[in-house]
Structure 1
Amino acid sequence: MTGRSFKESLTGWTGFPQLDSRFEPRLTRAAGNSVRKLLVDVEPRTPGRFDLEVLYQRMRLEWHRNHSLEGVHSRDLRQLAWVLFYPPEQDSTRWLGAIPGVVRQYGRWLVRRRRTRSLLVLLHEFLRIYPTDLPTFKEIRLLLRRALKAGDSAPPPSMRKWVQRCPDFRLLEADLGGRFIADLLEQPASPEQVLEEAGLATGLVRSGFLKSGIRIALRKRTTRSGAPPEAWLQKLLALLECEGGLRFDERAVRVEIANGLLGPFIDRAAPAETKEVLQSFFLKHFRDPRLPSGKHGWAGVPEDTRRVVIRWLVERVLDQFFMLLKETAYDHHWRYREAFWRAFLDEDLIDDIWFALGSRAESMLWKMSDDPEVLETTAELYGAQSDQSVLLMRMPGITIAEWSHNGSCHLWLDGAVGAPKLYEREYSAYALRRPYPYPDVPDAHSQRHDGSQHGKWQDQIARWLRENTGIVVHRKKYIPPRLQGNQRSGRSGQYRYRRS
């Protein structure tokens, strides 16, 4: 007797002691693994790198000696599928699978011997690598189709799934995965569910077969105009992502993603919902194309395609700027400036935007935005009032610095001395208040915001832009009726600026 009560014994119990290895249920475990293989897809266990290298060298030497597989040990033939596309990082012309004789003789052996495991390994490796540029690609694809059809009328359960899947999901057809992806994007089921049913969710989530089909879908999307259906786009974006990143994070695929999804909007506006979804996707996986952090993601993407996202970012940054001004600037200042510059944005005349914030304005933006990286696209403004901000804009041939309040608008033509550069991390208020070091320099201009209600400063800036850059925006657009007071009549032009 231990002297403890039954309740104390129960509450102090920590479980049965660890059993000796002799008592482990090995047969039960083995039976469970066998059942698991029948019910779920299990990725074939790849041999170690050393074993693969030894097998590859042995098979290559045997072929160069005899040009035949007749004398190869059956154990090596059972493992040959692992090294047909080996080593993957080297030139594919050195692969055993690039030799037509090897493929033909191995195919005959597979069909004759009906080696289920060897056939499944070959199918798995073929879909994983999917070497479409291999001269024997078509022959291997047809070999697999014949081998799957040549089996028994009642194939083993592990084979039965693939005998059904290959024709149902067109895994071995000549369309290179294009039809599979097209069907996936049209089905009501989620991409994850379709991949699971097709057997591509275990060891093949980043397979060459999927990559080939996705690239075909993106190329077809490039040739179409207008926005894709929302459900189709959401499924494609879900398919492009995997484990928090891009499924295929390669330069060539990135370029095709950008061209396929952004190309249709180079010359036309995107619907608001489509723009929001795509902008979020590209900022997450490609980053801001204007910043050093986006250099890798946008490498190789054509400039006109990059400009689509930059144009969207310009709209977003301008919205953020004027949203911030509502909290930090004087109402009778910012509402006229917002109307004026938004007219140029609506005419697609603003190429890029960057803004510098005083300390209070920066803190306010952080609180207002739900984007944790919002301050990455802003700069620090020192030497100014804490609630002041400066909007820096690039338009064709000119750089502009517009103050939130208590500051003039300054304009520098390209090449002007002292013109600020965008994307700096900090700016001096003094530098942004002086458009040129000496007075009466013709390639720069300063404009006080006098007579907002009458359109005085707006007309003067519009006239200076027209005379020095050829940029023209109709007066009714930059002074909308809701802001018109007792304005003097006059026009600053009727035709918008057209890029050369």
Structure 2
Amino acid sequence: MSSTDISEIDVSFKLHLPTFSARSESTAKAEKIIKKYGSIVPNVPENIEHIIQKAKEYFSSSNAEKLTEKELRAVAFESLSRDEGDRFFFNLLKAVDEAKSRRVFSALFSSYIMNFNKHDERIAQAAKLLKKHQKTLSKSWVRRLENFDLLAFKTIETSLAKKIMEEGNDHSVFDRAGLTGAFSASRLVQSSLIELANQVAKRIKGGNTDALYDFLKIVCVGDKIKQHAGAAAMIASLKPFIDSSPPVHLKGLLQKVFIGSFSDPRITLNQWPEIPAHLGGTNLRTSCIGLIKKWLNFEAIELFFKVIAEHAPDEQFEPRRNLWKSYFDQEFVVDAHIILGQSAALTAKRLKRTDDAAHGLIWGNLSGANPDQSVLLMQIGDLTVAEWSHNGKFRAWDPDSPKKPRFYRNSYSASELRLGSNKIRNKNGSYGDGIVHLGDWVPRAKAYVNQATGIRLSRKIR
């Protein structure tokens, strides 16, 4: 079945539809097409590979079968989403130029928007050809291009970003530019939002955190980031704080928004957006996600000691707190998860309701132990560490230990947080299954972590 080109449908088409007691089949089809493809995005035929091969033969031999308009349109739309070589693309543009077909120009224009990259020479060539035949496009696009020159490939991202910032609304700007429907997920939309994000990030670096609130109003619907704005949100909202720390209230807001949009990064990373390679790629993505995890780890450690303060205050409280916060402050804590007995969990629930800094907290439930007890499970380097409250021991497991506890489970038994832990030399020279919090236990714990991981704290801990 041939694809349907609705580029000639006026913008106000749906407003002028007559009222039917039962919708006509044609009306339903038109609305379905508008919803699925936007304005002029064509359908890719199932035999596209055959058509591409036919195009290669046609471009390389004067005796080959000529492409039909429908086939040329399909190749034009596919051209910028795949790399068939410079010669193929040059011949395609020549064929498009000679065809003088509005449908073919529209397909190339769609490909230009969907695959936009101002650093791609093919985009520059496509823009030049489309500029030459701009008046051949549909009337609606001719009108839009008079206000938003989408074919000015070097500056269009900046122009759209500036307009969005001025109006505080990306939807209205993209709507007037024609970047709706299928085009709302185009690379032109995404790269324009990333340009906006870069501008916002510069303002934040200059101390203007209010710019971030304005940005979040633009890219969020409720408390969730719009699907096509994920990379831009990371660049504007997280990148500026990789080497600094935002105010507490802003940190809480960012945690809520990003976890609500892309899930808790301690549980899964699959839903977190990718960042384009030229903007930092995997390394920047990892750093941004690591920042959220760092904030969450801090909350976990803070909550552990707040719970201890209410359920097990003793003379070893401050030494424990100082020791493990020092490992966190020097960025040696990779993961941190708290596991709470029944009474301790009730305290955690209350703190989560009343403490703004505890919004993103999760914990596991502890069974087989005193209801007041709690455990702080940490990964320091490659070492898994369990710090027990009350008179529980400091315990550790090597990375290859089959008995090491797994992080971020919903429930744990006390036995699995004790059994199989490493043997550690006691002060008297014998070996035990952990370190008791008595006497000079802090230097021995530090020495053990250093021996097991090579990690050495840079300042003295009392």
- Do the two structures share a fold, i.e. TM-score over 0.5? yes
CA distance in 2, matches of 1:59, 1:417: 58
Distance of aligned partners of 1:365 and 1:117 in 2 relative to their CA distance in 1, 3 Å threshold: same
Q: Which amino acid aligns with 1:319?
A: E
CA distance in 1, matches of 2:314, 2:208: 42
1:447 and 2:427 correspond = no
Query: Does the 8 A contact of 1:358 with 1:381 survive in 2?
Result: yes
* 1:162-203 deviation line (CA, Å, top 9, x unaligned): 231333xxx222327531454145323212222122221232
* 1:20-60 deviation line (CA, Å, top 9, x unaligned): 99xx8x9xx8xxx9xxx9xxx96136357359788767766
1:208 and 2:181 correspond = no
| TM-score between the two structures when normalised by the length of structure 1 | 0.62
Q: 1:334 offset after TM fit, Å?
A: 9.4
Which of 374, 381, 392 pairs up with 1:389?
A: 374
* 1:48-102 deviation line (CA, Å, top 9, x unaligned): 7359788767766655553999x87xxx54884443032787x431799x43233
CA distance in 2, matches of 1:262, 1:322: 27
Q: Which residue of 2 aligns with 1:129?
A: 115
Query: Does the 8 A contact of 1:397 with 1:413 survive in 2?
Result: no
Which of 117, 132, 157 pairs up with 1:146?
A: 132
1:163 and 2:163 correspond = no
Q: Which residue of 2 aligns with 1:11?
A: none
Q: Which residue of 1 aligns with 2:13?
A: none
Matches within 5 A, 1:88-487: 91-93=82-84, 98-107=88-97, 109-110=99-100, 119-130=105-116, 136-148=122-134, 157-167=139-149, 171-175=150-154, 177-180=156-159, 182-184=161-163, 186-215=165-194, 226=205, 229-234=208-213, 247-248=227-228, 262-291=238-267, 293-294=268-269, 297=272, 300-301=282-283, 306-325=289-308, 329-330=311-312, 336=318, 340=322, 344=326, 347-348=329-330, 351=333, 352-362=335-345, 365=348, 369=352, 377-395=362-380, 400-404=385-389, 406-412=390-396, 420-421=404-405, 423=407, 425=409, 426-430=411-415, 432=417, 440-441=429-430, 446-448=435-437, 460-465=440-445, 469=450, 470-471=456-457, 473=459
CA distance in 1, matches of 2:316, 2:92: 75
Higher deviation after alignment, 171-180 or 379-388 = 171-180
Larger Rg: 1
| TM-score between the two structures when normalised by the length of structure 2 | 0.66
1:85 and 2:71 correspond = no
CA distance in 2, matches of 1:43, 1:415: 55
CA distance in 2, matches of 1:63, 1:358: 73
CA distance in 2, matches of 1:131, 1:187: 24
Distance of aligned partners of 1:180 and 1:334 in 2 relative to their CA distance in 1, 3 Å threshold: farther
CA distance in 2, matches of 1:310, 1:156: 49
Q: 1:341 offset after TM fit, Å?
A: 5.3
CA distance in 2, matches of 1:158, 1:433: 70
Query: Does the 8 A contact of 1:400 with 1:409 survive in 2?
Result: no
Give 5+ residue unaligned stretches, structure 1.
1-17, 450-456, 476-491, 493-500
Q: 1:127 offset after TM fit, Å?
A: 0.8
2:297 is paired with a residue of what secondary structure?
helix
Q: Which residue of 2 aligns with 1:46?
A: 42
Give 5+ residue unaligned stretches, structure 2.
1-19, 275-281, 451-455
Distance of aligned partners of 1:315 and 1:184 in 2 relative to their CA distance in 1, 3 Å threshold: farther
Query: Does the 8 A contact of 2:338 with 2:376 survive in 1?
Result: yes
CA distance in 1, matches of 2:360, 2:382: 27
Please give the root-mean-square deviation of Cα atoms over the aligned residues, in Å. 5.2
Query: Does the 8 A contact of 1:239 with 1:247 survive in 2?
Result: no
Matches within 5 A, 1:23-38: none
CA distance in 2, matches of 1:20, 1:271: 56
2:364 is paired with a residue of what secondary structure?
strand
CA distance in 2, matches of 1:241, 1:411: 43
Distance of aligned partners of 1:78 and 1:88 in 2 relative to their CA distance in 1, 3 Å threshold: same
Q: Which amino acid aligns with 1:175?
A: K
CA distance in 1, matches of 2:344, 2:118: 55
Q: Which residue of 1 aligns with 2:3?
A: none
Distance of aligned partners of 1:225 and 1:191 in 2 relative to their CA distance in 1, 3 Å threshold: closer
How many residue pairs align between the two structures? 413
Percent identity reads 17
2:183 is paired with a residue of what secondary structure?
coil
